[in-house]
Amino acid sequence: MAADFLEIQEEALRRWEALTDGDSPWIRVGTALCGQAAGADQVIATLISELERQGLNAQVSRVGCLGLCFAEPMVDVLVPGQGRVVYGNVGPGDVGGIVSSHLGKGVPVADLVLGCIGEESGEGLPLLEQHPMKASEQRIALRNAGHIDPLDIYQYVANGGYGALNRALTEMTAAEALEEVNASGLRGRGGAAFPAGTKWRFLAGSNAPDKYILCNCEEGDPGAFNDKGILESDPHTVVEGIILAGYATGANHGYIFIRHGHDGPIERARAAVDQAYELGLLGKDILGTEFTFDLEVALTGDSYVSGEETALMEAIEGSRAMPRFRPPFPAQVGVFGKPTNINNVKTMAYVPEIISKGGEWFSGIGHDKSTGTAILCLSGALNYTGMVELPMGMNLNDVLNEVAGGVPGGKGLSFIQTGGPLGGVLSAAATDLVLDFDIFRSAGAILGSGGIIAADEDTCVVDLTRVLIAFCQYESCGKCFPCRMGMSHMLEVLERICRLEGTPDDLALMRNIGENMQAGSLCGHGQLGFNPVSSALRYFPEQFEAHIVDKRCPTGSCRVRHFSPRLSRR
Amino acid sequence: MDGLKQRIIKAVQNQPQPTVTILSSLLAVEDELGYIPREAVEEVASLNQATINDVWAVVSFYPNFRTVPPCDHRIEVCWGPSCHLVGAMPVIASVLEAAGLEDEGDTPDGKLTIRYNTCLGACALAPVMSVDHHLAGRITPDRGRELVTETLKSTGSGES
């Protein structure tokens, strides 16, 4: 059924207008993983019963993440004729008052207001865009997050969605679409920061009849939740990005790859795919053109290494998620033996805007060879935790002290841990650097997937290193001996040091293990597995010395009993 | 036993996605039954034209697969770095104490499973735990203990 895109757009705009400028208010509640963890489900249940009890009419939608996760549950009220008002930290007990005052009398409950969107909706109410976490933001991939109902394709279309796909299919050749992505300088947001355009060219250069596009949402990095956040908040931007990748490279099959158990992202991704099929945006002869693309959601079991590109292909094929030898590279022999391109969720989420606004526009944002924005997940000892999209080139100190509001309780920052467990730590003294893949790398850290975990001065760096290595040990897939045994051995040494039973030889021993892992492992898990220890040693040698020589932990936090899984892969 | 086999066949044959593999079939069984019984290994092997050994290789690799029937309720507590930095370990200690367990595992009466999770995905609201798949954030040791007690008091299965 070749749908006419203009008809879809008209229908979408008609529905959007009815929703935002109709007779009844529209209430949006954040229900991404952050909202759920804060109790959004209870707030929604109370909201619905209060509306009924007070005899008021309103449309209630479950939306994604506005980014200010620390203030969840957030309730965003739009009364027709007035601006949007966002309430933060809303408990079920606050809901009745919001309904009676704001919806009943048109007076927002000022004490609970986090900020207004668009225009001021009451005297003395701040604008949300003035909040420190919002003030520096430039949203491209997250442009719809928290604003639209992720389960409603028409809301995505009403906000410009699938316009890039329509434009590419009707006005651009595949080579032209690829060239826009190439010109944008977009680099992979999964960790390696490899140029997406170059990767796409590898696949476009293959004449094989069956080619695959994989979108990686495995996201096992503790402290990173932006892939899941995007899929939960705006799954259609990812779907559109994947279809565009297929068009540009001549591929006709795609998979979105998510870890089993992350129900929110899985349900929303599946729903988005189904809706795109219904409107003729996926499947045979998309929008009446000759381009055909099929997309489905594939799940993995619990395995951190399954986020590695070749292990991911093993998991899609249904096997143990263990990395393959390279070469051959995925662009020649990938999933099911066919040429394959793999990109992260964030990378894909940028593509529709790049096609709409042009590669040059995107490359004009950012810093040097790191174009565009960084989507950061701020967690740990910070006042404002959540998900922000900031232009590359912003100073990390400003991110920590202003955007994230500094460390709670007036404490000092000790170190941050970036780019997932393998990214290592960066001392507070070394955070005067700008958001840029290459600058981070030369500082010995990884910007990678954007997770930034902050630790205050009461944290023992040796203790955190132990947790990072415990994670790496548990998640080693076991294929390469140096990684499998090296991680276990290194964990034993770190546990010994934390018990204050370490010896000076232990540092050399860990270096030796680390060098062997780096040289003898197939994938980044083993190759980078020494990073947590080497970076901690680099910045905090005195802390290791205190444990080993003086037999004391400067913060005392090593003494807390530790729990980590005893299970291992058999 | 026939009932079990019927449920396995139904789960394996009604997968929503077009690509059916050993792993996807096992995940479908896990969703339906909460564990992978021996019968499911045999069924998945025959439907995927694989050997029992091939299927066990996958079951034993991913730690989310159980091979014994699930408890009535399941609580997961995050031990990842974000949660660790803001107090996950004391939370785990009090959760285990309330459940009467020394380490992750099942309570002897089959009521509750406690598992350590590497990341539940709500790091901004750490420490995080989940009770029968419902997330809860900013957990203190006291709140963790309360959630265990409430869960043990509630009747029926949390899987519904």
Our CA angle for A334, A338, A343, nearest 5°, is 45
Out of A317, A385, A560, the one facing B89 most closely (by C-beta) is A560
In A, minimum Cα distance to B55 occurs at A319
- What token pair was written down for A12? 């979408």
Exposure b/e, A309-345, CB count within 10 A at least 16 = b: bbbbbbbbebbbbbbbeeeeebbbbbbeebbbbbbbb
* Residue type for position A359: G
Out of A262, A299, A569, the one facing B27 most closely (by C-beta) is A299
Residue A223: Cβ within 10 Å count = 29
For chain A, say whether B82 makes contact (Cβ under 8 Å). Answer: yes
pLDDT of residue A80: 87
Cβ <8 Å between A260 and B85: no
Spatial contact of A462 and A423, defined as CB atoms under 8 Å apart: no
Cβ <8 Å between B62 and A302: yes
Which residues are within 8 A (CB) of A386 and not within 5 positions of it... i.e. 6 or more apart?
A34, A65, A67, A68, A69, A70, A133, A377, A378, B124
A567 phi/psi in degrees, rounded to 5: -60, 145
Q: Radius of gyration of chain A from Cα atoms? A: 24
Check the CA dihedral A413-A424-A476-A318 and report its sign: positive
**Residue of A212, A267, A379, A484 to mutate when probing chain B, most B C-beta within 10 A:** A379
Spatial contact of B22 and A299, defined as CB atoms under 8 Å apart: no
- What token pair was written down for A349? 């989420």
pLDDT of residue A349: 98
Task: Tell me the three state secondary structure of residue A69.
Answer: helix
- What token pair was written down for A103? 């919806």
Contacts of residue B90 in chain A, CB cutoff 8 Å? 560
As a whole number of angstroms, the distance between CA A297 and CA A316 comes to 10
As a whole number of angstroms, the distance between CA B89 and CA A441 comes to 31
As a whole number of angstroms, the distance between CA A211 and CA A222 comes to 32
- What token pair was written down for A432? 């005067």
For chain B, say whether A225 makes contact (Cβ under 8 Å). Answer: yes
For chain B, say whether A43 makes contact (Cβ under 8 Å). Answer: no
Average pLDDT, chain B: 94
Cβ <8 Å between A300 and B137: no
Q: Please, which residues 107-146 of chain B have a Cβ atom closer than 8 Å to chain A? A: 116, 118-126, 128, 133-138
Strand A373-380 and strand A370-371: the pairing is unpaired
Spatial contact of A34 and A40, defined as CB atoms under 8 Å apart: no
Our CA angle for A487, A492, A498, nearest 5°, is 120
As a whole number of angstroms, the distance between CA A425 and CA A532 comes to 6
For chain A, say whether B93 makes contact (Cβ under 8 Å). Answer: yes
Residue A58: Cβ within 10 Å count = 17
Out of A222, A564, A569, the one facing B123 most closely (by C-beta) is A222
**Residue of B74, B114, B116, B125 to mutate when probing chain A, most A C-beta within 10 A:** B125
Cβ <8 Å between B22 and A318: yes
- From residue A283, give the alpha-carbon distance in Å to each of A130, A339, B18: 43, 20, 13
- What token pair was written down for A382? 């910070």
For chain B, say whether A474 makes contact (Cβ under 8 Å). Answer: yes
CB pairs under 8 A between A and B: 183
Kindly report, residue by residue over B27-72, the tens digit of the pLDDT: 999 999 999 999 999 999 999 999 999 999 999 999 999 999 999 9
For chain B, say whether A464 makes contact (Cβ under 8 Å). Answer: yes
**Shortest alpha-carbon distance between residue B130 and chain A (Å):** 8
Cβ <8 Å between A564 and B119: no
Out of B63, B104, B136, the one facing A37 most closely (by C-beta) is B136
**Shortest alpha-carbon distance between residue A287 and chain B (Å):** 22
For chain A, say whether B53 makes contact (Cβ under 8 Å). Answer: no
The whole model's pTM is what? 0.96
Out of A225, A560, A565, the one facing B122 most closely (by C-beta) is A225
For chain B, say whether A303 makes contact (Cβ under 8 Å). Answer: yes
Out of A220, A270, A380, the one facing B85 most closely (by C-beta) is A380
In B, minimum Cα distance to A470 occurs at B80
Which residues are within 8 A (CB) of B55 and not within 5 positions of it... i.e. 6 or more apart?
B22, B26, B41, B44, B45, B48
Kindly report, residue by residue over A475-505, the tens digit of the pLDDT: 999 999 999 999 999 999 999 999 999 999 9
Spatial contact of B137 and A37, defined as CB atoms under 8 Å apart: yes
Burial bucket for residue B25 (CB in 10 Å: 0-12, 13-18, 19+): buried
**Shortest alpha-carbon distance between residue B4 and chain A (Å):** 23
Task: Pick the closest to residue A299 from A318, A324, A283 (CA basis).
Answer: A318
As a whole number of angstroms, the distance between CA A234 and CA A348 comes to 12
**Shortest alpha-carbon distance between residue A455 and chain B (Å):** 6
* Residue type for position A49: S
Our CA angle for A182, A185, A187, nearest 5°, is 105
DSSP A393-455: T-BHHHIIIIIS---GGGPPEEEEEESSGGG-EEEGGG---BS-HHHHHHTT---TT-EEEEE
For chain A, say whether B61 makes contact (Cβ under 8 Å). Answer: yes
Report ipTM (2 d.p.): 0.95
For chain A, say whether B51 makes contact (Cβ under 8 Å). Answer: no
What is the 8-class DSSP label of residue A187? Answer: B
Out of A385, A387, A569, the one facing B61 most closely (by C-beta) is A569
Which residues are within 8 A (CB) of A165 and not within 5 positions of it... i.e. 6 or more apart?
A240, A243, A244, A247, A281, A286, A287, A352, A355
Averaged pLDDT for residues B76-86: 94
Below-50 pLDDT ranges, chain A: 1-2
pLDDT of residue B158: 58
Cβ <8 Å between B121 and A381: no
Kindly report, residue by residue over A5-36, the tens digit of the pLDDT: 999 999 999 999 999 988 899 999 999 999 99
As a whole number of angstroms, the distance between CA A153 and CA A156 comes to 5
For chain A, say whether B96 makes contact (Cβ under 8 Å). Answer: yes
Which residues are within 8 A (CB) of B84 and not within 5 positions of it... i.e. 6 or more apart?
A464, A467
pLDDT of residue B50: 97
Q: Radius of gyration of chain B from Cα atoms? A: 17
| Alpha helices (H) along A234-369 | 235-249, 263-278, 309-316, 345-357, 359-363
Contacts of residue B64 in chain A, CB cutoff 8 Å? 260-261, 301-302
Contacts of residue A450 in chain B, CB cutoff 8 Å? none
